[in-house]
């Protein structure tokens, strides 16, 4: 899908693409340390993939905000299902960020 936006002060229209950063944090606090990360680049300029880096892009979720990433989704805090209190499964503290990039 192509999103377009009128840019104030310019007569033409510019095309905007979304870059998505997913951070997994050590607790539900947004300033907790990053334990996992994924990126998806809607501009097509980069091609992040599985196992391409050992170093997280930010130390915490807050650091991503400071660098201009906009938070648009955070994982809910859900109580465990009765009888499954000790089960481990997916990472719980998942935060989705975006940057809108004009291409």
Q: Which is nearer to other proteins, 71 or 75 (CB)?
A: 75
- Of 13, 12, 49, whose CA–CA distance to 4 is shortest? 13
Shortest Å, Cβ 78 to other proteins? 13
Give the CA radius of gyration of the chain. 17
Q: Which is nearer to other proteins, 12 or 86 (CB)?
A: 86
Yes or no: say if 22 and 34 are a contact pair by the CB < 8 Å rule: no
C-alpha to C-alpha distance for 42 and 17, rounded to whole angstroms? 5
CB of 3 to other proteins, least distance (A): 23
Query: Is the CB of 10 or the CB of 54 nearer to other proteins?
Result: 54
What is the closest distance, in whole angstroms, from the C-beta atom of residue 16 to other proteins in the complex? Answer: 24
Nearer to other proteins, 16 or 63 (CB): 63
How far, in Å, CA of 103 to CA of 15, rounded? 6
Minimum distance, C-beta of residue 86 to other proteins, in the bound complex (Å):
5
Please work out, in degrees rounded to the nearest 5, the angle formed at the alpha carbon of residue 49 by the alpha carbons of 23 and 22.
15
Instruction: Return residues touching other proteins (CB under 8 A).
Output: 22, 24-27, 32, 34-39, 48-54, 56, 86-93
């Amino acid at each position: 899908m192509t999103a377009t936006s009128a840019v104030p002060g310019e007569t033409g229209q510019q095309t905007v693409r979304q870059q998505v950063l997913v951070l997994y944090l050590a607790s539900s606090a947004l300033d907790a340390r990053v334990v996992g990360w994924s990126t998806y680049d809607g501009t097509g300029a980069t091609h992040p993939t599985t196992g391409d880096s050992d170093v997280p892009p930010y130390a915490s979720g807050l650091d991503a905000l400071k660098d201009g990433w906009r938070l648009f989704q955070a994982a809910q805090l859900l109580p465990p299902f009765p009888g499954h209190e000790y089960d481990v499964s997916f990472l719980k503290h998942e935060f989705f960020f975006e940057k809108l990039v004009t291409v």
